[in-house]
Structures are given as structure tokens and as C-alpha cells.
A = this chain, B = another copy of it.
Amino acid sequence: MEDIATDYLDLIRNRKFAAVAEDLRGRPAPVVADIIESLPTEEAGLAFRLLDKTTSLEVFEEFDGGMQADLLSALGAESTADAFRSLDPEEQAWLLDEVPAKVAKQLVRYWKEDERAPIRELLGYPRESVGRRMAAQIIRTRPDEKIGALLHRISQLDADNDKIAEIPVLTADRKLIGTVALAKLLYADPQDTVSTVMDSHPDFFYTTDNVEMAARQALLSGDLVYPVVDREERLVGIWPLADAAWIDIYEAEEDHARAGASEPLTRPYLLTPVKEIAHSRIVWLLVLGISATLTVKVMGFFESTLDQNVALALFVPLLIGIGGNTGSQAATTVTRALAVGDIEGKDIGRVAFKEIRAGLLVGCLLAIIASLVAWPLYGSGIALVIGLTLVFNCPIAATVGGCIPLIARACKVDPAVFSTPFISTFCDASGLVVYFSIAITVLSL
């Protein structure tokens, strides 16, 4: 595949568009999609425009969400309006959230009122909610329906496998009371009613549930279709496992990149230009760099202490390294616990209490080891200063690292994004203050 992509890349860069169009015409849509996805954004856009209309719609549906958003943004609304229109409403809603506002507006500009209705309904749910990502319900049943009758109705539908694998069972007033697996219907006697084979404790989601947490729960439970209900537990849509799966991957990629202080790349690494890679990193480096000037200030404040005992400078990288790592360990654990719903904002006291103790335990262990190592090499004074710094600094770093993600969540920003620069800056600066204060006291500087 990579070699084919390189061939295409050469052809496109040499403006041999007729040859590209000719060659792409002979291939099935999934293959064309793979080829185009492995090209850099600009060339991908050019190749996509060379497809005839029918193929371009098929190929666009094959792309994953990130690629679709890329193409919409790169080609603009005119060249992609038809491809966009051919998607399911929940896919359209997701893309409208991802592309620049200008493009989003143009994409739906010429739609008739009734065309806008389904997407408007989805966009009425809050960002990052399950309601905004759900699919339309395709079939539902009642507990007293005969299985044979239900199977007959299904056979008239021609719906996708992944959307009818489990069918919601509703009361007369549309309240969800169960689900029934397609496989179960086949094994059962057609004369029995749905109620004999339904699961009456199905997992389901509310439209207002957070989509990232819900996707994770869905993947852990592994049901094939989740009913989505409103506050009154009336069915309003469904969420297939397959949709939850790619949303989970997309959110995880974002979290992962941001935990590493960069923005996620939208293309395969080797095909991403150096400029784009640098771009995805420079903002974070600047933010981290600017906040790190605080450490210059703190060091400057203790310059005279350093002047009296320059050996103190030797341990600065070591000590702030341990502090920073302790803080980011705590932040990692707490961010994950927040993401999976194990803790919420109101638990901040319990988190702080746990982190103070965990930090103290870790700090004391490290202090004993570090002092024993430092004593013969640098004398008892320095050994004591290093030990005490660790005892005090580890609980501070752990507590700060544990609480900042909760504060970020309370301020409605993504904890994975917001936390990194603050934790590293704060842990570095507080670590230095603790270190020099202890040094001044212990060594009477």
C-alpha cells in the first residue's frame, strides 16, 4: 500500500492528473480510500477531486472521521457538499463540530428546512454528549409482539447489521424496558412473544451522558447496540458499539497526544510534513517555556544562597525531576480516574488527602535512599537537605498533580490539556523554594 501511495504521490506532484484519475477509476472504493488516506493532506485533496461523483461519495464514506474533517477543511464546502450530504446525520453532526466554523456554515447553507431537521436535533444536545453522537432508531418492538412478526418486520428493513444487532423493547408510551438480541430471535419459537427472550436489564445511556465516558463503558460491556433515552427513559436513538469504538479511539488519541504536550497529528507520522509536526508542538513548548520563566525568578531570588554554596546547584535538576515526575504520576492517575468516572469534582478533598499520604510515603522512602547515597559523597549537611526536600516536596507535588486535573474539569477545560504546563511549572517552582529554604535553615546560610 505504501508503495502504491508513493507512486501516486509522484504522479500528483508531477501534475499527471489524467493518469491518476484513470488508475483510480479501476479500483474498488475501500482501496481508493486507503490510497488517498495515505497521501499528505494537499495531495489527498487533489486526488479526491479527481474521482467521479458516485465514487467520491462511496470513498468519502470509507474515510475515518479525522480524514473526513481534514478534507472538508482543505477542499472547502463547495467540492465536498455532496459527499457531506450522503453521510448519516450523526456523522454530519460530528463533522460540523470538527471543521472550522466557516466551513460548517457553508456545508448546510443551501439545505431545505426538512433536511436540516435531523441534524439540528442532534446539534441541540450539548457538545461531547451521547445525544449529539447517537444514530436514529431503526426498529423497535413491544414485549407482547410475536417473535415471528418481529422477524418479518426486520426482513423488510435492509438496515445495517451493526444497528439492528440488538433491538430496543418499549412500553406503549415509549419507555425502554429491555432489549432483544437478533441472535436470540433466531433461536426462539416464532410463536413466542418478545418478552420471553428479552434482556430486561439492558445497559443504556442518557442523551446527556458524557460521550467519552459512555464510549469507554460501552467498550467494556461489549453490547452491540446501546439504547439512548431521554430524562423520562423514553427511547430517542441508538448508539452502535462500532460508533462508540471509533469515538473512543479518537478521544484516546487526543488525550494521549495532549498528555505528551502536543496536539494529535491527523495524518500518518511519516507523511506529516516537518512544518506540521513542529506546529503541533511549538504552542505547548511556548506555554511551558513561558511558565518555566517562573523557575528563573525563583532561582534568581536564591542567587545569593547559591553564591555561598554553589554545590547546591548540582542537585537542582535531580530534585525538580523527581518533583515533576511525582506530580505527573498523580495527574496521570487522577485524569484517568476522572475520564472513567471513578471520581468527580466533589471528591477533591478525598483526592488531596490520598495524594498527600501517597506522596509522603514515596517521599520518605526516596529520602532515606537519597540521604544514604549522598552522605558519604557530599557530607551530612547536604544529605539532610536532600532528604528533607524529598520528604516535603513529594507530598506537595503529588497533591498539586492530583488536584489540578479536578480544577481543570471544574473550569470546563480538558484536564489532559490544561494540567501539563501548570503541574510542571508549579512543581518545579515549589520544589526550588522548598529546597533552598531547607538549605538556608539546615546549613545556616
Contact = CB atoms under 8 A, between A and B. Distances in A.
Interface in A417-433: 424, 428, 432
Interface string A126-169: 00000000000000000000000001001111111110111000
Given A155-B187, A220-B246, A313-B316, A329 B284 contact: yes
Interface in A273-300: 274-275, 277-278, 280-282, 284-286, 288-289, 292-293, 295-296, 299-300
A28 B200 CA distance: 12
Given A260-B259, A329-B261, A293 B270 contact: no
A361 B255 CA distance: 25
A381 interface: no
Interface residues of A, number: 111
A334 B354 CA distance: 34
A69 interface: no
A40 to B, nearest CB: 13
A345 to B, nearest CB: 13
A275 B336 contact: no
Contacts of A242: 222-224, 241
Interface in A174-191: 181-184, 186-187
A245 interface: yes
B337 A269 contact: yes
A321 B295 contact: yes
Nearest to A328: B260
Contact of A282 (B265, B284, B286, B362): B362
Given A161-B182, A313-B299, A329-B260, A424 B245 contact: no
A366 B361 CA distance: 39
A343 B292 contact: no
A270 B161 CA distance: 40
A375 interface: no
25 contacts: A161-B182, A218-B245, A219-B246, A220-B249, A222-B241, A245-B245, A253-B336, A259-B332, A260-B329, A268-B337, A269-B336, A270-B347, A274-B354, A275-B361, A277-B358, A281-B326, A284-B325, A285-B329, A286-B369, A292-B321, A296-B314, A296-B318, A303-B310, A303-B311, A307-B310
Interface of A: 28, 30, 64, 151, 154-162, 164-166, 181-184, 186-187, 201, 216, 218-220, 222-224, 240-243, 245-246, 248-249, 252-253, 255-257, 259-262, 265, 268-270, 274-275, 277-278, 280-282, 284-286, 288-289, 292-293, 295-296, 299-300, 303, 306-307, 310-311, 313-318, 320-322, 325-326, 328-329, 331-334, 336-337, 342-343, 347, 350-351, 354, 357-358, 361-362, 365-366, 369-370, 373, 424, 428, 432
